[in-house]
Structure 1
Amino acid sequence: MYSLLLALIYIAFISLGLPDSLLGSAWPVMYEQLEVPISYAGIVTMIIAGGSVISGILSNRLTKKFGAGVVTVTSVMMTAVALMGFSFSDSYILLCLWALPYGFGAGGVDAALNNYVALHYAARHMSWLHCFWGVGATISPYIMGYSLTKGYGWNNGYRFVGILQLILTAILFTSLPLWKRNNNGDKEDESNSKSLSLIEILNIRGVKLILAAFFAYCSLESTAGLWASSYLANYRGVDPEIAATFASLFYIGITVGRFLTGFIYEKLGDKLLIRYGIGIITAGLIMVLLPLNGNMVALGGIVITGLGCAPIFPAVIHATPSNFGKEHSQSIIGVQMAGAYIGTTFMPMLFGFIADNISIGLYPIYLLVFTLLMALMTEMLNNKLEKEIVKKTL
């Protein structure tokens, strides 16, 4: 029962990853056909992330009322319906309207399952869980690239992924009795956690630092994934159809990295994994930044950047109970997810305006700024926690 439920949670995270990389891979073609500026991709992602913030905040209440299974299935179904809506859209306004259920669904899955896995499963499962998100995020650009290169258009690319999402919804729907049999255990665990207000959460030592670090990481990941294809096509001169496929290399890096990290998680621990990840991201972005002839080094840098991103999100979530206490972890993880969505809401959009008004060539520099912020905040948090430990031992 325990293992079967975990397998279903993995499937839910594949469904969460499927829509996340579609817009970035298709946008070099979409914005021309829709006759809007290239920066308007950021507005769509802002609407999606805004919906995710709202559903993430409400997820704790909804999960307690309806159960994690119902929230998960409903959320996945909402993203499937939204993807089908995208596939039939012929105007930018319609994209923005369908972005609302898209965001509500994504936020519901993310918030409901991250807390559950952090509290109930071993560290390696948190890494592999997000590896399965990467499986979904990697598959969909290939589907979109195939649709574009074969002349089916971006609409059919969304339709293909929407159909796949509907199949996953049906699989998860059949699992509802299994979730119900696990509800009693879930409620028992939830009763041990304290419900805190936002001010109380922010007053816990170190929370502001981890929120800033998580904001920086999610800003980096979302901007890197959304604009990789446009950067390659518009600045590096790669054909749009090929760029759509190559953009998936970033998500392949994340996926492979999280799979491998699961085997070494217990040996290294959260702190070292975050440090190594930041170092690898820095190396990858320097490769993207180098003004060399040809695109192989830049493409390799995008893959390496994805590898560096791999352990950071799972490690931050998994470290929350040990850093701040199990009784506070559920409330803090909820706020962390909200901070993550704020980063994905505004920072890709901000880079869109930079690309429009200055140069899309600033892509690697923009990402390096967030890498530096993330490094600074995590090290400040480590120092603060170490000082707390020293005080307790004296």
Structure 2
Amino acid sequence: MGAGPGQNASVSAGVEFVNIPVGWRKVYVDDIKANQPNALSTGPFGSAISSKYFQDSGVPVIRGSNLSNNAEILFKDEDFVYISPEKAGEFSRSSVRANDLIFTCWGTINQIGLIPEGSHFNCYIISNKQMKLTPDTKQVVPFYLYSLFSSRKIQKKISDLSIGSSIPGFNLGNLKSIELLLPPLLEQIKIASIISHWDYSLSILSRLIDIKSRQKRGLAAQLLTGKRRLPGFESEWSLYPLGYLLLPKKKVRAGKADYPILSVTVDGVKFQGDHFNKRVASENLGDYLVVDRGEIAMSGLNFWMGAIGMQSIVDAGVISPAYKVFRVNGDLIDSDYAMHFVRSQTMLSILLESSIQGASIVRRNLNMTSLTTAAVRIPSLLEQHAIAIDNGLN
């Protein structure tokens, strides 16, 4: 079917435009740069802006940590390194000011930044891993342009254009070649205003959700330690060694059976593919440990950072033989309560106290005796069950 009156369909370098409204136009990024020298430019070359030139004050240097791939964060106007004004003068083509866009060209290439009006400094210098665009404000509204580059379609285009294998790259030629669809300037202003309003509303909602989440985590911590009791429960809590509650499971190897591969992270038990975005397990899984649903798995490396959790995502999976697997002693501890307990601050403290400094500061070994003999106070099974189903934990 053809396009309607005043409309057409276009495909440009992987970005498809269908049913273009009247008055809108297709442009390349190179067409909308400001009419001034170095409006579209890269950062300083290589070591020209290395750490040996950094100082405590001066002209701020924008690095990857000042940008984000979260569209709600235009620019992190803090935590800079600085170079002298004299040194910055050597990099005038790499200077950016309010309404300039910044792109990461090596590494996290989907990072986009926009220097807002009212930023902390009048001038910044981009690093050697970035590019900048000073847009022609007679053609395009900078925030509208930022929103376009933050959109899923253009983000995918940037990823598709990436060069390099081990470290993704995105160069000035790639940036210039991207084709965009621009409405008239007045419509851009209206669209940018709506996007800005919704971004603000969503940020407020996000903060409210975060506050609510922190309140619930605080309540959960109080319920799991007995600092706060649910109505109707007054009996004393009992003291048990952790080894009475979580029983080391006899090792069951995967053998030739086909199981999904799991990882134990500081966020709990995850499918390995979801956590690493790729397979990192060895090809031979015969020695991997089987962990059934409802059992507790613990990392053998990052346990002291809280890498422990109940396996609740699949009937049975396999984990590295360096991990530990425990069964929940249902005679003393409710399974749902145990799921929350192993993710609690109390459990994290026990894990930390059961660790021994290894060969490096981030390498710690497990003292199994210290772990299994750690004293844990728990309520009756009935109260445990009530706590586990309380909204404070769920």
TM-score (norm 1): 0.22
Q: Would you tell me which structure has more strand in proportion to its own residues?
A: 2
TM-score (norm 2): 0.22
Higher relative contact order structure (alpha carbons within 8 Å, sequence separation ≥ 6)? 1
Structure whose CA Rg is larger? 2
Q: Would you tell me which structure has more helix in proportion to its own residues?
A: 1
